[in-house]
A and B are shown apart, each in its own frame.
Chain A
Amino acid sequence: MVDFFERLGALTLSVLARLGLATLFFGAVFARMAQGAKRGALLVREIHFAGVRSLAIILVSGLFVGMVLAVQGYEVLQRFGSADALGSLVALSLVRELGPVVAALLFAGRAGSAVTAEIGLMRATEQLAAMDMMAVDPISRVIVPRFMAALVSLPILAVIFSSAGVIGAYLVGVELIGIDAGAFWSQMRASVDFRLDVLNGLFKALVFGVAVGLISVFEGYHAAPTAEGVSSATTRTVVISSLSVLTLDFILTVLMFRGLN
């Protein structure tokens, strides 16, 4: 029994210590954002690695999610004779929820894990220490550009995901099932509100970008300098990012959409 409480206490202390470490680290990252933003070439490079190279998986996933939504949505809607509303169902699901959330989950798996592994290996091979000894701050040189790349890329990827989804739904709903194209598009235009749906969706993606970006760079920067340390840091990035995205999505959805109807 004493053993149990001892372990519980040790676990609580280690979680608190890690949270404290993370808070200090996030403070250091935010304090250097202005310096990091001046390194335009580095930022462009990181956006290329994190954002542009995620395009394929985002486009293909978006397309398939849209096609599945169209099939499932049509099944339900046509029971109530409102198959014409497919366009608005698909667009709202994508723009409000699936676009930001699924793009963020894919981004954490594709780019976040890569960032963690890269920074973790830079640490293990003393590249960060070497930089520090050359009087170059590793946080502004290595961490900030990668964090900002996530911040910039994820909202754009979410928009691309939603667009690909709408195209997928169009292909299945209109071209395959035979819903009227005019109804599909006009229903969509009538129901999607720019501020309420599109901007809120973009804001969600931005928040997810902050979360996934911070978690990826933090886990990499504090990875144990061993093969095992880097591998478990990479796993933690994907797990913690995914859970954070889903939790944040719930909180944001409640704040944004509760009591609207």
Chain B
Amino acid sequence: MSHPVDAPLIELKNVRFGYGERVVLDGLDLTVPRGQILAVMGGSGNGKTSLLGLLGGRNIAWSGSVRVEGQDVGGLDGSSLYALRRRMGMLFQFGALFTDLSVFDNIAFPYREQTNLPETVIRDLVLMKLEAVGLRGAAASMPSQLSGGMARRVALARAIALDPMLMLYDEPFTGLDPISAGIIGRLIRRLNDAFGMTSLIVTHDVNETLRIADRIVLVSDGRIVRDITPQEVRASDDLFIRQFADGLPDGPVPFHYPAPAYAQQLLGGAVGGGGAHG
């Protein structure tokens, strides 16, 4: 690769993106150096998942540039994009395991599709990845037989199958009990360091994030409003940061979705909740 090792792995400059007429990201700048675990936090609907889509080339920015390892992701043709994706892993929110394949075959999938390795080698590799997430004993199970946390770990083993340079995590802790979330968190940290990866985690889970991330960015109104370390989060008395860290319902981020005045709406008898139809 011509891309220098000390250059940032991810570089987003002035990115604008949205769906239809709705702007989700507006002037977002972000740089992630190699080896770091970056957590992206922010309220739902703030374009965090869109950000993962942009990095994986599933979304194309309206304007601005999205570079991974120096390559402009939006400008890649089909085969170059697939070449880049082979060096990326993504853990989807609920794992996205192939429900018609066993745990073993799910993890063998990337090897069978992307390499010409003989089955005996694939078998060993699959068992090694399963061992890494502690689920070698579940190789023969079907995804429907797994708990949420186990399914997430199998999906993680599948995502790291081809030893990616970059791991993208979409809400890896959502819907998990604290123990399973802790296991996933520790795995993310351990795999990142053991395999020399760079990780980007989109999450709401403050506890796990503070424990494993090197850096946290808070996204609001389509741009990054805070860029801090976990230590700074714990020490900060910034109202915005405290609202996130302590999960306060109201603060700089309002509890109420914009609406007409409450009393006026109750008395006026409008049904639709105001807004465009009001």
Which A residues contact B (CB, under 8 angstroms)?
A: 121-122, 125-127, 129-137, 141
Cβ A135 vs Cβ B114 within 8 A? yes
Q: In B87-115, which residues have CB < 8 Å from any A CB?
A: 88, 90, 92-94, 96-99, 109-110, 113-114
Chain A positions within 8 Å of B88 at CB level? 133
Cβ A130 vs Cβ B113 within 8 A? no
Known: A127-B99, A129-B58. A135 touches B93 (CB 8 A): no
Chain B positions within 8 Å of A127 at CB level? 96-99
Is B85's beta carbon under 8 Å from chain A?
yes
Is B86's beta carbon under 8 Å from chain A?
yes
Choose one: B85, B94, B98, B99; the contact of A135 (CB below 8 Å): B85
Q: Which residue on chain A has the smallest CB distance to residue B155?
A: A130
Beyond A126-B93, A132-B58, list 12 extra A-B contacts (CB 8 Å).
Answer: A121-B99, A125-B96, A127-B97, A127-B98, A127-B99, A129-B58, A129-B92, A130-B96, A130-B98, A133-B58, A134-B113, A136-B113
Measured in the bound complex, the distance between the Cα atoms of B95 and A127 in whole Å is 9
Q: How far is the CB of A117 from chain B (nearest CB, A)?
A: 12
Chain B positions within 8 Å of A129 at CB level? 58, 92, 96
Cβ B83 vs Cβ A135 within 8 A? yes
Choose one: A125, A132, A133, A137; the contact of B99 (CB below 8 Å): A125
Q: Which residue on chain A has the smallest CB distance to residue B84?
A: A135
Is B195's beta carbon under 8 Å from chain A?
no
Q: How far is the CB of B209 from chain A (nearest CB, A)?
A: 22
Q: How far is the CB of A252 from chain B (nearest CB, A)?
A: 35
Measured in the bound complex, the distance between the Cα atoms of B88 and A136 in whole Å is 13
Q: How far is the CB of B146 from chain A (nearest CB, A)?
A: 14
Measured in the bound complex, the distance between the Cα atoms of B95 and A51 in whole Å is 31
Chain A positions within 8 Å of B99 at CB level? 121-122, 125, 127
Choose one: B96, B109, B113; the contact of A126 (CB below 8 Å): B96
Chain B positions within 8 Å of A131 at CB level? 98
Chain B positions within 8 Å of A141 at CB level? 113
Is B149's beta carbon under 8 Å from chain A?
no
Is B62's beta carbon under 8 Å from chain A?
no
Q: How far is the CB of B213 from chain A (nearest CB, A)?
A: 22
| 18 sample A-B contacts, Cβ–Cβ < 8 Å, listed by A number | A121-B99, A122-B98, A122-B99, A125-B96, A126-B92, A130-B96, A130-B155, A132-B85, A133-B58, A133-B88, A134-B85, A134-B86, A134-B110, A135-B86, A136-B109, A136-B113, A137-B82, A141-B113
Chain A positions within 8 Å of B113 at CB level? 134-136, 141
Is B74's beta carbon under 8 Å from chain A?
no
Is B47's beta carbon under 8 Å from chain A?
no
Is B56's beta carbon under 8 Å from chain A?
yes
Chain A positions within 8 Å of B93 at CB level? 126
Measured in the bound complex, the distance between the Cα atoms of B83 and A126 in whole Å is 21
Chain B positions within 8 Å of A137 at CB level? 82
Chain A positions within 8 Å of B94 at CB level? 125-126
Cβ B83 vs Cβ A130 within 8 A? no
Chain B window 60-98, contacts with chain A (Cβ cutoff 8 Å), 1 for yes, 0 for no: 000000000000000000000011011010101110111
Cβ A133 vs Cβ B90 within 8 A? yes
Chain B positions within 8 Å of A133 at CB level? 56, 58, 85, 88, 90
Chain B positions within 8 Å of A121 at CB level? 99
